[in-house]
Amino acid sequence: MSVPSFGVGTFRLTGQAVIDSVRNALDLGYRAVDTAQIYGNEADVGQAIAKAGVKRDELFVTTKIWTANYAAGKLVPSLRESLDKLRTDYVDLTLIHWPAPGNGVALPEYMAALAEAKALGLTRQIGVSNFNIALTKQALDAVGKGEIATNQIELSPYLQNHKLAAFLKEQGIAVTSYMTLAYGKVLKDPVLAQIANKHRATVAQVALAWALQLGYAVIPSSTRRENLASNLLARDLKLDADDMAQIAALERNGREVSPEGLAPAWD
């Protein structure tokens, strides 16, 4: 996989909350951190990373370009600003945050600008987020096969995205799952609770282990150190075929995020 399988997310966290979360995560052994321009926390994340004292080449930092910065003359300057906030000369991965089909910037234009950012050494890898199959194909046409490291998509036991995930696997594009716990909704699921009891694990660990076993990367977030530590243990949880079959049956197309004007027509 071209992206780490386990990282810490920072969505909805700002100020001291995100500083503490990232600092705790790095202290516990996380080495991948996911942020975005629109989160408004890149400077806080940069501060936390600087204070953690982990060598830069041991970290994997991801950010995402916001829609207002997609134009050819804006994307690279906006990424330079992100680097300043993050206190680094480069990020490991930069994503287009949403396809935003109606925002006036054509996909080939922003993908070319993203490729330029990579050519300039501002980012080691590039990718997309929230792209459907048709748009991922267009992105591949724009930058070339093998250039898109990941498509970061909402994916949980309630939204399993089989068709898109299968397409991405065929193309050699890593799947990064966000909202893997469906805003906490899966934590109350009786089937997952039963599986968790069987393995003496938490429901969150079961959901994360399910995604990991399917070959997806995960980026759960938490403001609590104990939850960050607990989530990390999902890497060691091995679900059996019966567990995986039971979770597969939980599919309900339970999408949590689909902002108008930003989201594509979902597969």
Contacts of 137 (CB under 8 A, 6+ apart): none
CA distance 130 to 31: 24
CA distance 175 to 169: 8
Report residue 28: phi and psi, to 5°: -80, -10
Q: How does DSSP classify residue 165?
A: H
- CA dist list (Å): 70 to 64, 95, 101, 144: 11, 11, 11, 19
Paired tokens of 215: 């070959």
Amino acid at 65: I
- CA dist list (Å): 53 to 56, 58, 88, 239: 9, 11, 13, 35
Is residue 65 within 8 Å of 97, Cβ to Cβ?
yes
* 39 a catalytic residue: yes
Residue with tokens 């979360």: 21
Is residue 176 within 8 Å of 254, Cβ to Cβ?
no
Contacts of 170 (CB under 8 A, 6+ apart): none
Q: Pick the catalytic residue from 39, 70, 110, 178.
A: 39
Is 162 assigned to a binding site? no
Which residues are part of the catalytic machinery? 39
Residues tagged in the binding site annotation for substrate: 97
